[in-house]
């Protein structure tokens, strides 16, 4: 729920996904215009806008009231509505959907119910589609962490970080789990915890995309401010840290940095 406190910043600087991913999502899922899509954890609607752009009707579940309000505003005039609750507690009231989609959010669903609850709202042959962005080596953003190690030690010792892994390392783990969307999701989002989908879903189709985004020093710091480890740091110390990080980017990186991402898409059919 910490994210709801920074809904405006989250909306502004959290990364979206490559346009090609949504084209692949449409192809792999086979759903056409007017498809009914359930989006779990829509946030302020970064992915929602692209789902709606394909002509799909989106019903979302989002526990953050401020984030949900922004999603509604961003989707104004489109076929979109949202229930403010967690997917774990949400009552579908007998509704089913052509696709369940979640972008960098499904790890928040409890491991012991995440696949059963997804299966319950999908008819056989319908689609479960999960996407995530991982920061990977390359670009200059990960170098900021090393350059600000002393600042972190002084002002935010509770924040632990390491250099971003190589994209090939993550992809090797993702491919190794390609027999089960639960194994794929654990490899793509390790903080989700291990949880297999078993016989509820068929083996997923996988796609991945390496891409980059450039951030000014102000936006780079704003991006960090949307991550939960930093949100948990008391405001006074966090401000000192961010002032120092902003100065590091201005003096050592010319005022802007490039962050490299690996987006992973997994699309699995609901089995009978």
Domains of the chain: which residue ranges?
Answer: 2-134+165-210+262-269
pTM of the model as a whole: 0.93
- pLDDT (tens, 9 = 90+) of the chain, 272 residues, equals 677 788 888 889 999 999 999 999 999 999 999 999 999 999 999 999 999 999 999 999 999 999 999 999 999 999 999 999 999 999 999 999 999 999 999 999 999 999 999 999 999 999 999 999 999 998 899 889 889 999 999 999 999 877 789 999 999 999 999 999 999 999 999 888 889 999 999 999 999 999 999 999 999 999 999 988 999 999 999 999 999 999 999 999 999 999 999 999 999 999 98
Q: What are 36's strand-pairing partners?
A: 57
d(CA 48, CA 59): 10
Selection from 18, 25, 14 nearest residue 211 by Cα? 18
d(CA 97, CA 78): 18
d(CA 257, CA 217): 7
d(CA 55, CA 34): 6
Pick the CATH number of 2-134+165-210+262-269 from 3.30.1330.40, 3.40.50.720, 3.40.50.150, 3.90.1150.10: 3.40.50.150
Query: Residue 93 — left, alpha, or beta (φ > 0 → left; ψ -120 to 50 → alpha)?
Result: left
């Amino acid at each position: 729920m910490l994210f709801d406190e920074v809904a405006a910043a989250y909306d502004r600087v959290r990364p979206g996904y490559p346009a090609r991913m949504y084209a692949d999502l449409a192809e792999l899922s086979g759903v056409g215009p007017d498809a009914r899509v359930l989006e779990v954890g829509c946030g302020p609607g970064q992915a929602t806008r692209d789902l709606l752009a394909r002509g799909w009707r989106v019903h979302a579940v989002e526990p953050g009231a401020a984030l949900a309000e922004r999603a509604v505003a961003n989707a104004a005039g489109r076929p979109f509505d949202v229930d403010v609750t967690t997917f774990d507690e949400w009552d579908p009231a007998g509704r089913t959907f052509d696709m369940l989609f979640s972008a960098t959010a499904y790890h928040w669903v409890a491991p012991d119910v995440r696949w059963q609850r997804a299966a319950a709202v999908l008819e056989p042959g319908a689609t479960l589609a999960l996407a995530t962005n991982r920061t990977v080596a390359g670009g200059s953003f990960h170098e900021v962490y090393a350059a600000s190690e002393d600042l972190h030690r002084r002002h935010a010792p509770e924040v632990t970080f390491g250099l971003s892994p190589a994209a090939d390392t993550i992809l090797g783990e993702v491919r190794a789990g390609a027999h089960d969307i639960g194994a794929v999701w654990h490899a793509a989002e390790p903080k989700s915890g291990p949880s297999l989908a078993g016989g509820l879903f068929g083996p997923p189709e996988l796609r991945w995309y390496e891409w980059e985004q450039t951030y000014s020093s102000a936006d780079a710091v704003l991006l960090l401010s949307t991550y939960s480890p930093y949100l948990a740091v008391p405001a006074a110390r966090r401000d000192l840290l961010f002032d120092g990080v902003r100065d590091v980017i201005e003096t050592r990186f010319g005022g802007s940095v490039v962050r490299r991402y690996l987006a992973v898409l997994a699309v699995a059919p609901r089995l009978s």
